[in-house]
Amino acid sequence: MQFVAEPMQLSSLLQRFAEPETLKMAKLGRELRAKGIDVIDLSLGEPDFDTPDHIKEAAKKAIDENWSHYPPVAGYPDLREAICTKFKRDNNLDYKPENIVVSTGAKQSLANIILAVVDQGDEVIIPAPFWVTYSELVKIAGGVPVIIRTSIESEYKLSAAELSEAITEKTKLFLFSSPCNPSGSVYSKNELAELVEVFSAHPNIFIISDEIYEYINFVGNHESIAQFDSIKDQVIIVNGLSKGFAMTGYRLGFIAANAEVAKACEKIQGQFTSGANAITQRAAIVALTSDLRPSREMTKEFTRRRERILQLISEIPHCDCAIPEGAFYIFPNVSHYFGKRNGDAVMQNADDICMYLLNDANVSTVTGRAFGEPGCIRISFANSMQKIEEGMKRIREALAKLK
């Protein structure tokens, strides 16, 4: 029998999801910089600080002590204990090591959970704006993202009525972040309590609470939705060291969930990665059990920059934005500039505005379309005060040129 040679083909799965717009903008910025152009990066999704010294020392010690073998898939027992202690210390939440799974970043934790709970055709409710990866992971798992738009008037937060209306018999999961990337919204305890009332009536719905920006909070204490006993078993907390400890490159995330969900995530992870980097895990124990002063200092600096960037954005006409209560982004609505032109080029949407700002003003930002809010752009203040001031000046001047 003779076979006709077909061209090689990649999987159809690849067609179902997009590459992260945040990483794409960072790459475009790097390319311009390589050509010698002075690009100011306000698309950054990571703290611009170095990892605190005591954590770096712990990583070096782990290398010298030969922590170089495969770790347990769910994480070293003493790290899982340290994570439980962190939950008690910071959130007054009781978890046991059997509830914890450590992974290679919060992103992988999210992937584990979504693959563990979402079946083909299951609906996953995601309030917009949302972090770019949520909808794409749901699509990879064969689920259906159900995006609920919120508005600047509600500070980009979802109400109980909107949540209730979105729930169908196919709803499997609800997925949100507080503090939110990109809007900076932070849900108060009362606002969470209202959502909890709805979830209490639907005990079959899982809730992913992404709390990776927990320490970068400008308004008070972090409130976790897992504090409500009536739904605690439904909640899967996702957190990690990337943002609060300036450890993005170390790649360490973790979840806290009921033991059955934790076991399921461990099973998935056992096939994908065999667990998180051993050196990073040893360093994470030190990060999580030490004084939080370095994290607080970073948040203090983000607070200063937030004040300044809010002042600077208010000086740019027609760039309304909600006041961020956490994380390190502002998310102005730039739709006033849609339809305006720079020479022959018409700004059709936020993507065009971002490309215009990159190529004309040499400032990188991220289109709101990627976050499910196409009228906005995301501007990060995880950069020095001087870069923020120069970047915002360039944005102001570039937008003023659009006619």
Residues of this chain that interact with ligand PLP (CB under 6 A) are: 45, 105-107, 131, 177, 181, 210, 212, 240, 242, 248, 253
Burial 37-67 (b: 16+ CB within 10 A, else e): eebbbbbbbbbbeebbeebeebbeebeeeeb
Spatial distance between the Cα atoms of 27 and 24, rounded to a whole number of angstroms: 5
Backbone angles phi, psi at 24, to 5 degrees: -65, -45
CA 399, CA 235: separation in Å to the nearest integer?
43
Q: What is the C-alpha separation between 269 and 392, in angstroms, rounded?
A: 42
**Closer to ligand PLP by Cβ: residue 212 or 262:** 212
3-state secondary structure of 226: helix
Kindly tell me which of 84 and 102 has the beta carbon lying closer to ligand PLP.
102
Question: At its nearest, how many Å lie between ligand PLP and the CB of residue 305?
Answer: 17
**In the complex, what is the shortest distance from the CB of residue 2 to ligand PLP, in angstroms, rounded to a whole number?**
49
Identify which of residues 107 and 232 has a Cβ nearer to ligand PLP in the complex.
107
Cβ proximity to ligand PLP, 90 vs 210, nearer residue: 210
Nearest residue (CB) to ligand PLP, 107 versus 305: 107
- Closest separation in Å from C-beta 89 to ligand PLP: 20
Please, what's the b/e burial string for 349-370 (b: 16 or more CB within 10 A of its CB; e: otherwise)?
Answer: bbbbbbbbbbbbbbbbbbbbbb
CB 256, CB 99: distance < 8 Å: yes
Looking at beta carbons only, is 62 or 102 nearer to ligand PLP? 102
3-state SS class at 207: strand
Please report where in the chains the tokens 């040129």 appear, as a residue.
401
CB of 250 to ligand PLP, least distance (A): 9
Residue 107 C-beta: closest distance to ligand PLP, Å: 3
- Shortest separation between residue 179's beta carbon and ligand PLP, angstroms: 8
Q: What order of strands is seen across the sheet that includes strand 366-367?
A: 329-330, 377-380, 366-367
Structure tokens at 333: 């609505």
Cβ nearer to ligand PLP, comparing 177 with 362: 177
